[in-house]
Amino acid sequence: MMNVPHERLLGHRSEFVRHANLSAIVREIHFNGGLSRSDLVARTGLTRSGIRAVISDLVGAGLVREERAPSQGVPGRPSPLVQPQPGGAVVLALEVAVDSLAVATVGLGGQVFDLVRVDRPRGRFSVEETVTDLADLARLVRARTPARDALVGVGVAIVGVVRRSDGVVRMAPNLGWHDVPLGAQLAEALGVTLPVAVANEADLGALAEHRRGSAVGVDHLVFISGEVGVGGGVIVDGRPLVGLAGYGGEVGHMPINPAGVVCRCGSVGCWETEVGERTLLMRAGQPTGGGRAAVDAVLRDAAAGVPEALGALDNVGRWLGVGLAGLVNILNPQVIVLGGLFGRIHPFVAASLRTEIDRLGLRASSELVEVRPATLGIDAPLLGAAEFAFEPLLSNPLAWASSAQAAASGA
Amino acid sequence: MMNVPHERLLGHRSEFVRHANLSAIVREIHFNGGLSRSDLVARTGLTRSGIRAVISDLVGAGLVREERAPSQGVPGRPSPLVQPQPGGAVVLALEVAVDSLAVATVGLGGQVFDLVRVDRPRGRFSVEETVTDLADLARLVRARTPARDALVGVGVAIVGVVRRSDGVVRMAPNLGWHDVPLGAQLAEALGVTLPVAVANEADLGALAEHRRGSAVGVDHLVFISGEVGVGGGVIVDGRPLVGLAGYGGEVGHMPINPAGVVCRCGSVGCWETEVGERTLLMRAGQPTGGGRAAVDAVLRDAAAGVPEALGALDNVGRWLGVGLAGLVNILNPQVIVLGGLFGRIHPFVAASLRTEIDRLGLRASSELVEVRPATLGIDAPLLGAAEFAFEPLLSNPLAWASSAQAAASGA
């Protein structure tokens, strides 16, 4: 429970403190892109000479480079910008979504080298087929990535409930999977000895929106994302809410309507039964299996003023607000980010969900919360998987970078 | 977002590191009572000589003492036990509950020097009356506490929604209070220049059960407590879930039954309308204003097998389980602690609430969670207020102890 503000830690010399300094600086540069030495002094509390030493180590490891900043018409030599060296550390990000597979390579600083998304019909795919397809895509993407020997991590986002400790997918109703050791199977198929870190896609969507999307700088955050089901990810005090085993954030299965219908999870009246795609399509008179094309049709109808579409959206908006009011009362967040389906329908549901948050939330909390659409779109979980895969490197830049490179090149 | 395991931090010499070492050692001793130097080496990662230096500082400040341990029949000199010196740092804890006021003085290590609880009828009391009564009780209790000059903090638990930054009670429906600057008013009435730290009583109940009650060592924890209303406190990863402004944990106002009744908060179908004392008493055929005596009558009837009482308890148990299933899905806790009314009725509701958690919770999470009654009883929030008041001292033992003593003795 001891919280050491890292600014206070960074003035001292020793091997450990040197690592902490390296970590702090790499994080700043990874999150923020190019920063001047003066920026780094201000953000970390390190001395100028301390910054200089750390940057020299990081340049030596190939993780950052220094660049002359453009002159801003101010007298004196401009402070050089420290830039991430994207090719110096690369992660592989994979995603198993409801109706697509995706793979990307992302460099330090967040540069996406390559990203491939392949649609596949919704339905039950075998684990073997999915793993093989992902490994094939990964080979393709890695071959097109310049610095492929600098692989430092692999992250996987999946539409399912994941045990963090070993990457086992406990349950993925959209795929019909139970207790699948996805992390281990992907490590083998990819031929890497690096750990493959697997997590729920909405948890990773929350991480991506927090670091690179609609909620940068927001430390109390709820991300909800809908397609067939409803996923959620929560950030508490700047840290992802993981829970005991990694199952936290499953807001789609809050019991919300005891008089409601049976959910795919086997329960009754879960939030997702009232706000999911199926309910929206049914109420709007579209085929419930119509997928994204049918949702597009609802949005077109709504824009044209078709009452059935507007009514269906209003209904989903109200039930969204009911559940969000509960989350506002439990979590007192600063921002709620709407992703996936909810981001797309945001313009049509913003008013009704706000009404319900204000009606059902405690005023102290509801008056503070802002609801925003996500900005990273469909790729948020994939980009979150990349961020997740960078964590070991960010915690111990030099040690990790060298050992991971050895492991990757030995594969 | 940088997490430094404090074990790794503690091997280094410097003024800052010395403070971190002092803080780590005082926390260990405050939480665990007497520990040998060997225990402290194992728990903090400090060297023996480092431990010796820190203990010497803490003995000098009057915060700990060393005591020869009883011989355990092992050859060699036994390692002396480092004990908290309860009189070396004392906090004042206050509580505004639904039907009582309470004040205690608590010493380092958790020793309760004195505790007074005064019942008062439920209903609306003015702020002035409440503040005056608390200040009178505090004077009495402090006069009976031996080391009253060593006051290092004041903590207040209140049945209301509290803004942490300035101790303003935004809303306390049981008292009819809105936007009351309770922290400032109590500081004046008590004549202290120490900050008066105010928080919601269920948040502090969670803290107390986590540190000294039913959930020691449990880092993912939900505490729910019922009297008239339903309060909650959440611990995520060992840290209290506070939210943006301090309003987190208001689980009593999760919307749970859209077909339900109007809540005191102005909303409809909140969890507390289904599980609160009023609903229990009404269903059991007791006067709804009967308070704790009426609840006792329900429990006596249930023990005697009266169907109406058993049915009312079963109903409350099922609704408890519905809401808890939602919290299990959102938070993936290890333990749920039932406090207040829920702790008292636990034997009669354990089976039905478990049934609902298993029916409505995701299996991955529900199979991991254990439901326990609280062990600190009615005093949990008061003891949590004491822990809350100790925080500044625990973070910086020497600086805080000396400045706080100066402030207190100047009052």
Complex prediction ipTM: 0.90
| pLDDT tens sequence across B210-236 | 999 999 999 999 999 988 889 999 999
From B361's Cα to the closest Cα of chain A, the distance in A is: 7
Given an 8 Å threshold on Cβ–Cβ distance, is A257 in contact with B258?
A: yes
Q: What is the mean pLDDT of chain B?
A: 89
Of all residues in chain A, the one with the smallest CA distance to B335 is A244
Fold of B6-84: Arc Repressor Mutant, subunit A (1.10.10)
Confidence of residue A38 (pLDDT cuts 50, 70, 90): confident
Chain A CB within 8 Å of residue B330 CB: yes
- CA B80, CA B248: separation in Å to the nearest integer? 43
From A309's Cα to the closest Cα of chain B, the distance in A is: 23
Give contacts of A 346-375 with B, CB under 8 A: 359-365, 368
Identify the CA nearest to A203 among candidates A264, A252, A248: A248
CATH superfamily of the A88-204+380-410 domain:
ATPase, nucleotide binding domain (3.30.420.40)
**Mean local confidence (pLDDT), A40-68:** 86
Encoding tokens for residue B373?
A: 């009654």
Q: Is A339 helix (H, G, I), strand (E, B) or coil?
A: strand
| pLDDT tens sequence across A262-321 | 888 788 889 999 999 999 999 999 999 888 899 999 999 999 999 999 999 999 999 999
pTM: 0.90
- CA A296, CA A308: separation in Å to the nearest integer? 14
Given an 8 Å threshold on Cβ–Cβ distance, is A161 in contact with B253?
A: no
B258: nearest CB among A20, A250, A322: A322
Q: Is A256 helix (H, G, I), strand (E, B) or coil?
A: coil
3-state helix, strand and coil shares in percent for chain A, rounded to the nearest 5: 50, 20, 30
| pLDDT tens sequence across A85-132 | 988 999 999 999 989 999 999 999 999 999 999 999 888 889 999 999
Encoding tokens for residue B395?
A: 């973070």
| pLDDT tens sequence across A133-192 | 999 999 999 998 876 668 999 999 999 999 999 999 999 988 999 999 999 999 999 999
Given an 8 Å threshold on Cβ–Cβ distance, is B330 in contact with A332?
A: no
Q: Give pLDDT, residue B20.
A: 78
Topology alike, domains B88-204+380-410 and B215-375: yes
Given an 8 Å threshold on Cβ–Cβ distance, is A14 in contact with B16?
A: no
Give contacts of B 296-325 with A, CB under 8 A: 322-323, 325
Mutation choice for A interface testing from B254, B318, B356, B394 by most A CBs within 10 A:
B254
> Looking at beta carbons, which residues of chain B come within 8 Å of A327?
330
Chain A CB within 8 Å of residue B332 CB: yes
Give contacts of B 371-400 with A, CB under 8 A: 395
Domain borders along chain B are 6-84, 88-204+380-410, 215-375
Which residues, at least 6 apart from B289, have a Cβ–Cβ distance to it below 8 Å?
Answer: none
Specify the CATH class of B215-375 in words: alpha beta
Q: How far apart are the first and last CA of chain B?
A: 40
Chain B CB within 8 Å of residue A118 CB: no
| pLDDT tens sequence across B177-212 | 999 999 999 999 999 998 899 999 999 999 999 999
- CA B22, CA B403: separation in Å to the nearest integer? 16
Chain A CB within 8 Å of residue B246 CB: yes
Given an 8 Å threshold on Cβ–Cβ distance, is A12 in contact with B9?
A: no
